[in-house]
Amino acid sequence: MASSDKSIKIHEHCLVPPPSAAATPFSVPLTFFDLHWLRFHPVERIFFYSLPLPHSDHSSFFDKVVPKLKTSLSHTLQHFLPLAGNIVWPSDSPKPIIQFNPGDGVSLVLAQCDDALFNHMLDNSPRGATESHTLVPHLESSDSLASVMSLQITLFPNKGFCIAISSHHAVLDGKSSTMFIKAWAYACKSGEEESPPSLVPEYLEPLFDRDIIKDPTGLESVFINNWTQIASQMNPSHTSNGRSLKTVPQPIKENSVRATFELARGDLEKIKKRVLSKWELVEELAEPVLASSKPTTLSTFVTTLAYVSVCIAKAIHEAQNVQKFVLGFTVDYRARLEPPIPENYFGNCVASHMVDTQPHDFIKDDGVAIVAKRIWSKIKTLDKGALNGLDTIFSRFMTMRSEGTMAIGVAGSNRFGVYETDFGWGRPSKVEITSIDRGLNIGLAESKDGRGGVEVGLALNKHVMDLFHTIFHAGLSFD
């Protein structure tokens, strides 16, 4: 964590373990879903909370609020022991495992930031993409060991505070990460003073059973080999034989700004109506992979991804003359596998897929309709053959990148309910997926007003962001 910034002061860096009653060794193997993300950069999310006086006063916050957050964190970790451990790769194991040992805990940084920056952070307008980084904790990783999770709590005196989580994607997908945060919030809000806390409702009790994840086609080996190939390409002289756990660095692009955009329910309905009115017209252009009747409506996910990715592509095309794009998104497999995986399964049960568009589809006049139809077709195809194509996703992506195709990714979901995360001082004022600035990504969350809209976070080159702003709003002005 960059603590040299004069706007932030570090008060404490400590380790929060689960209660001593939980101090027994615990290990969990990684499945092929986990290995898919083995060396992916950490996923970083910040929850901002407005906090009234006297709670937001310096002494009150660190004397009363922080101890409550720490105690409830420790108690919650008793139910989520892998989060307090590390990823290791035993010499006699063909794959890494998650291991918790007595004495392990979660790294927690306590900090204070300039109060004048609080409203600045809540503003949806463009600001420097790296401004959030001092609020996010570092997640340790090396060839031999990788931390699972780290946390930072930062006070903005007399204004509010934020909780930032940096998590290893090989242990947590978005659903699991938000499950933990909500469990911690529940324990804190309910004032649980005894361990273990009762995690109610039931879906907050995590399931770690890895035996329910089957690997009939050997995807574990495929994904381990993929990361080994990346390691050898990055550092041919490295001696780890590909068994490194160090996350692959992805530097932030210079002159990048971060902004948040909203699609209200009415905006989404307008886009859906426009796309469906052109459904048959883009039939030949889209070359659908799935013969099916025209849907009566489209999901918020499909609509948002199609609209935002096309706006991004057209902005980059205008600014940098990039011609070819591809959209990738993660698919939740819990309900798609046979038999289905319980909703409270804790770990990765997601994998990446690329939308079967043509590279130039995104910059065409009817790009939104074409891309929406292709996303919809892709999802329908996955409903029929869930794991099809996963073994070649890495090679296909590398080939497209070598051909000059720019990839647009997606992080988060409008179904996670991140704005429901109340630690006892009210709902978040803003939730930000900080790590979207590690590439060209769309950050998704539900609108905080709870009226069916979507919040979209972006980190783009400043000139591209200005063009995106114009294209995004112009597209919503049509009837």
Residues 6+ away with beta carbon under 8 Å from 449: none
Peptide bond into 54 cis (omega under 30): yes
Candidates 151, 9, 166; CA nearest to 70 is 151
Active-site residue, selected from the candidate residues 75, 79, 168, 169: 169
Query: 466 catalytic, yes or no?
Result: no
Active-site residue, selected from the candidate residues 114, 215, 422, 466: 422
Strand partners, 127: 258
Sheet with 441-446, strands from edge to edge, namely: 127-128, 256-263, 454-461, 441-446, 406-412, 325-332, 350-354
Instruction: Say if residues 53 and 158 touch (Cβ distance below 8 Å).
Output: yes
Residues 6+ away with beta carbon under 8 Å from 99: 25, 26, 27, 85, 86, 87, 88
Query: 422 catalytic, yes or no?
Result: yes
The residues assigned a catalytic role are: 169, 422
